[in-house]
């Protein structure tokens, strides 16, 4: 039976990490085996009593003490309340939920493409790849609106030392790269065709990146996206995060591109009002 | 399955009500019919009418509003419901099929299952079609489907013949043991089949439903058709409230008198504009047409419904009755077929 009651979570510390974003360290008071088995790309529900709960990805998954990290951007009532809390505050936790990234450590070349906050679910898999005995050649193309909106500053400093990292901006300052991550694919692909794409960001960016990888010769089965949907329950019951016949909270949020497209055929993308570009 | 003769459904009702809270659909005196509790001594004649009540049995198990947990003194406390034994008396085949569908959907949900485990379901075969129903087309009735009830009442065409009572589960057999009923000798199977065929004839071929569902699953309904239908959706949530298989909910935090809080879940509707809207502002189902389409895919989509081995629509016709925009199931399918 599913347990819908949260467990206690302690806020240990936090630091500013990008515009309106903070890097939090939490500790699950009584971690379970499932917490310790969490993999990058999965998510948890963060409960703020009185303000509801919301899904966030793990930047680092729980260690033996239940300590893990998450990136949160302040967007609404729940995150505003979270940002007002001090260390040692008691919160609630449910998880881990959903499917994480496939762990492709036999792949020789992994291309990670992220936009805005979409870098957060990729952090764990990038770190894991770097820690392999024979490190996978992982490269990252990271797009953001401008320098202030970049997240995971400390991780990026570390990654710059160990892997090819392209950082590009919609509003680039002098000396910075500009344009969408796709505009730098020539450079990325000149090192060889990647075996795998792992992508997270605004949906138009992900779909365009996957199409571009296909056009350049990658197989649809090697393209993976982490999609955002509104998840209220995390256990496939509340209905909010549907993607066609699937629920992103249990069947995603990591989808293989060809399977995602198939789901969308019964869930066409209607021309709606343009979403604000916040990430 | 054991089959008995039953002199009167009222005697069965009184017997079951001795040890359980018993609910039956009764007129509310204001033109509607609702589930109401019935006392042991109630003498009102049981009405096997095929007319469907305004609401199905859904809320007995998937409550319209319920507490999931409490946060008191820095602790999260489970709030599983404690449900006394109850019996729903005279549930129609369509609504029982919907319960069977939700039994699967909420298989792992402790709140739903604790209510369900405390409940005895007494079904009743419909021997005439209700107005607007099409249970025969979607294989949910008019005879109660095997496994969907503990006991099944079968009214007789011959007014002088005793009722038939089917004991269809272990709990059902146990519940009537003390009545010492006589096993039925009539050819009850043929009689139920004849009832079913008569109702099927009354309900007709349902050409729009059959053609519309085929078009939907073949992906042959234009987006423009959905958008036109979407213009008729007022986003009132009437259909999702009365639909016996709709199961969407939203969380709601409420302060408690003791200074803590409790998390409730309340029925939600996929027809609401903000149902899928994310914190970023992105809304994957931003248009009314997309949301109307979603609702009907949920009811009739093969891929969505394969795990349940049944459509999400049980043919009760409540959406036709309640929709102010005329896009209940017959309204939608007629427009889809004639687009």
Evaluate the CA torsion angle A16, A17, A21, A25 in order and state its sign: negative
Exposure b/e, B273-295, CB count within 10 A at least 16 = b = eebbbbbbebbbbbbbbbbbbbb
Nearest to A238 by CA among B105, B306, B262: B105
Looking at residues A18-41, what average pLDDT do you find? Answer: 97
Based on the domain organization, do A80 and A135 belong to the same domain?
no
Task: Report CA Rg, chain B.
Answer: 21
Q: Is B296 on the interface with A (CB under 8 A)?
A: no
The alpha carbon of residue B90 is apart from the nearest alpha carbon of chain A, in Å, by 28
Contacts of B227 in chain A (CB under 8 A): 270
The alpha carbon of residue A218 is apart from the nearest alpha carbon of chain B, in Å, by 27
CATH number for position A66: 2.40.30.10
Chain B, 59 to 98: residues with Cβ < 8 Å from chain A are 68-69, 71, 74-79
ipTM given for this complex: 0.93
Bridge partners of B251?
Answer: B265
Instruction: Name the residue of chain A whose CA is nearest to B216's CA.
Output: A266
Based on the domain organization, do A66 and A137 belong to the same domain?
no
Bridge partners of B2?
Answer: B167
Lowest-pLDDT range of A75-84, A127-136, B290-299, B322-331: A127-136
8 Å CB contact of B250 and A238: yes
Based on the domain organization, do A51 and A126 belong to the same domain?
no
Supply the pLDDT for residue B221: 95
Q: Is the residue at A146 inside a domain? A: yes
Based on the domain organization, do A118 and A220 belong to the same domain?
yes
Based on the domain organization, do A197 and A135 belong to the same domain?
yes
Exposure b/e, B160-188, CB count within 10 A at least 16 = b = eebbbbbbbbeebeebbeeeebeebeeeb
User: Is residue A231 within a helix (H) or strand (E), and if so which, with residue range?
Assistant: none
Supply the pLDDT for residue A266: 67
Q: Is the residue at A267 inside a domain? A: no
pLDDT(A267) > 70: no
Looking at residues A100-121, what average pLDDT do you find? Answer: 89
8 Å CB contact of B283 and A272: yes
> A151, A21 in Cβ contact below 8 A?
yes
Contacts of B291 in chain A (CB under 8 A): none
Based on the domain organization, do A120 and A84 belong to the same domain?
no
8 Å CB contact of B69 and A279: no
Contacts of B250 in chain A (CB under 8 A): 232, 238, 240
Contacts of B71 in chain A (CB under 8 A): 49, 92
Based on the domain organization, do A73 and A157 belong to the same domain?
no
Among residues A41, A69, A97, the one where a domain terminates is A97
Based on the domain organization, do A181 and A151 belong to the same domain?
yes
Based on the domain organization, do A71 and A20 belong to the same domain?
yes
Q: What is the rounded distance in angstroms from the CA atom of residue B311 to the CA atom of residue A245?
A: 13
8 Å CB contact of B276 and A241: yes
Instruction: Name the residue of chain B whose CA is nearest to A228's CA.
Output: B278
pTM for this entry: 0.94
CB contacts < 8 A (A, B): 139
DSSP string, B305-320: HGGGTS-S--S--HHH
**Mutation target among B66, B75, B76 for the A interface, most CBs of A within 10 A:** B76
Backbone angles phi, psi at B271, to 5 degrees: -85, -10
Instruction: Name the residue of chain B whose CA is nearest to A242's CA.
Output: B276
CATH number for position A123: 3.40.50.80
3-state secondary structure of B178: helix
> A90, A5 in Cβ contact below 8 A?
no
**Mutation target among B102, B219, B282 for the A interface, most CBs of A within 10 A:** B282
Instruction: Name the residue of chain B whose CA is nearest to A264's CA.
Output: B284
The total number of structural domains in chain A stands at 2
8 Å CB contact of A244 and B303: yes
Contacts of A8 in chain B (CB under 8 A): 74-76
Contacts of A243 in chain B (CB under 8 A): 284
Looking at residues A141-148, what average pLDDT do you find? Answer: 96
Q: What is the rounded distance in angstroms from the CA atom of residue B301 to the CA atom of residue B282?
A: 25
Lowest-pLDDT range of A57-66, A205-214, B42-51, B60-69: B42-51
CB neighbourhood size of B258 (10 A):
10
Q: Is the residue at A196 inside a domain? A: yes
Instruction: Name the residue of chain B whose CA is nearest to A245's CA.
Output: B304
Supply the pLDDT for residue A277: 43
Q: Is the residue at A204 inside a domain? A: yes
8 Å CB contact of B111 and A238: no
Q: Is the residue at A207 inside a domain? A: yes
Among residues A97, A126, A144, the one where a domain terminates is A97
Q: Is B267 on the interface with A (CB under 8 A)?
A: no
8 Å CB contact of A232 and B283: no
pLDDT(A104) > 90: no
**Class of residue A101 by CB neighbours under 10 A (exposed 0-12, middle 13-18, buried 19+):** buried
Strands A109-115 and A137-144 come out as parallel
Based on the domain organization, do A92 and A146 belong to the same domain?
no
Looking at residues A23-51, what average pLDDT do you find? Answer: 97
Lowest-pLDDT range of A47-51, A265-269, B295-299: A265-269
Contacts of A103 (CB under 8 A, 6+ apart): A39, A125, A128
Instruction: Name the residue of chain A whose CA is nearest to B256's CA.
Output: A50
Q: Mean pLDDT, chain A, as a whole number?
A: 92
Q: Is the residue at A66 inside a domain? A: yes
8 Å CB contact of B279 and A203: no
Q: Is the residue at A59 inside a domain? A: yes
CB neighbourhood size of B118 (10 A):
18
**Mutation target among A49, A115, A145, A231 for the B interface, most CBs of B within 10 A:** A49
Token pair 């399977």 in the structure block, residue: A259
Nearest to B294 among A50, A235, A242 (CB): A242
- Domain range for A51 is 7-97
Note the Cα B155 to chain centre separation in Å.
Answer: 21
Based on the domain organization, do A113 and A87 belong to the same domain?
no
Nearest to A270 among B71, B281, B287 (CB): B287
Q: Is the residue at A173 inside a domain? A: yes
pLDDT(A133) > 80: no
Based on the domain organization, do A58 and A142 belong to the same domain?
no
Among residues A47, A72, A97, the one where a domain terminates is A97
Q: What is the pLDDT along chain B (339 residues), one digit of tens a residue?
A: 899 999 999 999 999 999 999 999 998 888 888 999 999 999 999 998 878 888 999 999 999 999 999 999 999 999 999 999 999 999 999 999 999 999 999 999 999 999 999 999 999 999 999 999 999 999 999 999 999 999 999 999 888 999 999 999 999 999 999 999 999 988 899 999 999 999 999 999 999 999 999 999 999 999 999 999 999 999 999 999 999 999 999 999 999 999 999 999 999 999 999 999 999 899 999 999 999 999 999 999 999 999 999 999 999 999 999 999 999 999 999 999 998
8 Å CB contact of B280 and A273: no
Token pair 């002088």 in the structure block, residue: B160
Q: By percentage, how much of chain A surpasses pLDDT 90?
A: 87
pLDDT(A273) > 80: no
Q: What is the rounded distance in angstroms from the CA atom of residue B286 to the CA atom of residue B277?
A: 8
Q: What is the rounded distance in angstroms from the CA atom of residue B207 to the CA atom of residue B334?
A: 9
């Amino acid at each position: 039976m599913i347990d819908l009651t949260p467990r206690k979570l302690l806020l240990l510390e936090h630091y500013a990490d990008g515009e309106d974003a903070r890097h939090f360290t939490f500790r699950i008071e009584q971690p379970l085996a499932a917490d310790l088995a969490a993999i990058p790309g999965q998510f948890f529900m963060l409960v703020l009593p009185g303000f509801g709960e919301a899904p966030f990805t793990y930047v680092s998954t729980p260690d033996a003490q239940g300590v893990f990290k998450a990136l949160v951007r302040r967007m609404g009532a729940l995150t505003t309340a979270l940002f007002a809390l001090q260390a040692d505050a008691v919160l609630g936790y449910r998880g881990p939920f959903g499917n994480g990234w496939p762990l492709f450590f036999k792949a020789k070349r992994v291309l990670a493409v992220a936009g805005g906050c979409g870098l957060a679910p990729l952090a764990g898999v990038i770190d894991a790849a770097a820690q392999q005995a024979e490190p996978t050649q992982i490269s990252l193309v990271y797009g953001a609106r401008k320098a202030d909106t970049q997240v995971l500053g400390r991780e990026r400093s570390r990654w710059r030392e160990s892997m090819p990292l392209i950082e590009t901006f919609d509003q680039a300052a002098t000396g910075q790269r500009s344009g969408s991550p796709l505009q730098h694919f020539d450079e990325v692909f000149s090192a060889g065709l990647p075996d795998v794409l792992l992508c997270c960001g605004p949906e138009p960016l992900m779909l365009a990146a996957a199409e571009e990888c296909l056009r350049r010769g990658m197989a649809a089965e090697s393209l993976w996206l982490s999609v955002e949907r509104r998840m209220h329950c995390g256990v496939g019951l509340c209905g909010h995060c549907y993607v066609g016949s699937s629920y992103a909270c249990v069947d995603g949020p990591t989808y293989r591109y060809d399977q995602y497209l198939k789901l969308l055929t019964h869930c066409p993308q209607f021309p709606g009002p343009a979403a604000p570009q916040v990430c | 399955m054991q089959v008995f003769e039953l002199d009167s459904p009222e005697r069965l009702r009184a017997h079951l009500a001795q040890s359980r809270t018993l609910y039956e659909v009764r007129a509310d005196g204001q033109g509607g019919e609702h589930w109401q509790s019935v006392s042991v001594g109630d003498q009102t004649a049981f009405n096997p009418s095929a007319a469907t009540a305004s609401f199905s049995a859904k809320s007995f198990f998937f409550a319209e509003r319920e507490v999931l947990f409490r946060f008191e003194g820095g602790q999260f406390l489970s709030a599983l419901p404690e449900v006394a034994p109850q019996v729903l008396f005279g549930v129609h085949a369509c609504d029982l099929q919907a319960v069977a569908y939700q039994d699967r959907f909420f298989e792992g949900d402790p709140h739903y299952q604790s209510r369900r485990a405390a409940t005895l379901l007494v079904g009743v075969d419909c021997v005439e079609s209700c107005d607007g129903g099409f249970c025969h087309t979607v294989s949910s009735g008019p005879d109660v489907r095997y496994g969907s009830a503990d006991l099944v009442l079968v009214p007789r065409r011959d007014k002088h013949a005793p009722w038939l009572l089917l004991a269809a589960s272990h709990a059902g057999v146990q519940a009537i043991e003390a009545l010492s009923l006589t096993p039925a000798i009539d050819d009850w199977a043929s009689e139920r089949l004849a009832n079913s065929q008569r109702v099927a004839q009354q309900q007709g071929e349902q050409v729009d439903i059959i053609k519309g569902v085929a078009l939907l699953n073949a992906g042959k309904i234009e987006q423009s058709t959905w958008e036109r239908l979407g213009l008729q959706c007022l986003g009132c949530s009437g259909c999702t409230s009365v639909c016996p298989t709709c199961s969407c909910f939203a969380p709601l935090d409420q302060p408690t008198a003791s200074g803590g809080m409790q998390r409730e879940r309340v029925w939600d509707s996929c027809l609401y504009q903000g149902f899928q809207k994310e914190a970023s502002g992105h809304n994957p189902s931003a248009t009314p047409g997309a949301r109307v389409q979603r609702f009907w895919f949920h009811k009739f989509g093969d891929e969505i419904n394969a795990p349940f081995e049944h459509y999400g629509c049980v043919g009760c016709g409540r959406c036709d009755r309640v929709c102010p925009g005329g896009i209940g199931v017959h309204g939608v399918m007629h427009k889809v077929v004639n687009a």
